């Protein structure tokens, strides 16, 4: 089983490389990532979080099916932004409100390598932006004020020390 790396691991700060071809091996990685995401009850998981430097992430937003995004690109974002609470499987425990575009159009290849485009809003838009950040070595804490980032890192460190996972990962990506 793939292991989700956590805050401090260098993989989380690296930029993933574009996928040249959707091979059976890549499909297997996507399937394993879907399984790991479900196991952690997460809403999204990026390849960099399992130490694979390819532009691939998977999502499982509430009221949405499982999705695979390969070489994802944001084609357009709306002007409107919204604040939503985020968590991250690589920073299990703490959550914080992050401001991001509310609407966007994303293009990617699916698990079969077919190009698709989607207009999204709400939780799925939020998850896509969070996961795309991961592929560029960016974490949700990078969007926070210094005070909020310190709070999240402190809570993470404390929770980590207690090693009480519980359902703290729920709805994280
Ligand atoms: Ni995350």
Asked if residue 162 has pLDDT above 80, the reply is no
**pLDDT, mean of residues 15-23:** 97
Instruction: Cite the DSSP H helix spans in the chain.
Output: 24-39, 122-135, 146-162
Ligand 1 centroid to 153 CA: how many Å?
14
Dihedral (Cα; 32, 34, 40, 43), 10-degree rounding: 150
Mean of the per-residue pLDDT values of the chain: 94
Asked if residue 145 has pLDDT above 80, the reply is yes
Ligand 1 centroid to 101 CA: how many Å?
17
15 against 168, higher pLDDT: 15
Ligand 1 centroid to 50 CA: how many Å?
11
Ligand 1 centroid to 139 CA: how many Å?
7
Could you read off the pLDDT of 25-44 as tens digits, one per residue? 999 999 999 999 999 999 99
Asked if residue 163 has pLDDT above 80, the reply is no
Question: What local confidence, expressed as pLDDT, does residue 52 receive?
Answer: 98
Could you read off the pLDDT of 48-71 as tens digits, one per residue? 999 999 999 999 999 999 999 999
> Which is the catalytic residue, given 17, 21, 41, 131?
131
Phi, psi of 158 (to 5 degrees): -65, -45
Asked if residue 93 has pLDDT above 60, the reply is yes
In which band, very low, low, confident or very high, does the pLDDT at 159 lie, cut at 50, 70 and 90? confident
Could you read off the pLDDT of 113-139 as tens digits, one per residue? 999 999 999 999 999 999 999 999 999
Encode burial over 40-55: b for 16+ CB neighbours within 10 A, e otherwise. Answer: bebbbbbbbbbebebb
H/E run at residue 121: strand 115-121
Q: Is 131 a catalytic residue?
A: yes
């Amino acid at each position: 089983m793939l292991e989700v790396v956590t805050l401090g691991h260098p993989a989380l700060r690296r930029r993933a490389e574009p996928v040249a071809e959707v091979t059976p091996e890549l499909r297997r990685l996507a399937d394993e990532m879907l399984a790991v995401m479900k196991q952690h009850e997460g809403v999204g998981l990026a390849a960099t979080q399992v130490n694979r430097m390819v532009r691939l992430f998977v999502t499982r937003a509430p009221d949405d099916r499982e999705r695979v995004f390969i070489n994802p690109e944001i084609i357009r974002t709306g002007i409107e932004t919204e604040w939503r609470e985020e968590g991250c499987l690589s920073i299990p425990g703490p959550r914080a409100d992050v401001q991001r575009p509310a609407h966007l159009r994303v293009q990617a290849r699916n698990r079969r390598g077919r190009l698709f485009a989607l207009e999204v809003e709400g939780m799925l838009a939020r998850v896509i932006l969070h996961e795309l950040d991961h592929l560029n070595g960016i974490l949700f804490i990078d969007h926070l004020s210094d005070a909020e980032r310190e709070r999240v890192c402190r809570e993470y460190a404390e929770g980590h020390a207690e090693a009480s996972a519980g359902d703290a990962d729920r709805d994280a990506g």
